[in-house]
């Protein structure tokens, strides 16, 4: 049925700083986002996470 059936949940993470990149819990369709101060900062960090999609840049 494709991506139309997946409902992604966006969860804010209050203790992560703007320096953190978003994290995903793919099994549960959850994207964890720090509180970014601007849309530009959010875009920058999302693109960084996508570019480092192998564990979202974590070791």
Spatial distance between the Cα atoms of 45 and 51, rounded to a whole number of angstroms: 10
6 within 8 A of 29, measured Cβ to Cβ: yes
Q: Look at the chain and count its residues.
A: 59
Rounded Cα gap, residues 28 and 15, in angstroms: 21
Q: Which of 1, 3, 6, 27 is catalytic?
A: 27
In the residue annotation, 5 being an active-site residue is answered as no
Catalytically annotated residues: 27
């Amino acid at each position: 049925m494709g991506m139309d059936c997946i409902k992604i949940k966006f969860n804010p993470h209050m203790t992560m700083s703007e320096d953190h990149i978003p994290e995903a819990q793919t099994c549960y369709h959850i994207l964890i986002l720090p509180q970014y101060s601007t849309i530009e900062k959010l875009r920058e960090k999302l693109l960084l996470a996508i570019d480092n999609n192998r564990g979202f840049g974590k070791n």
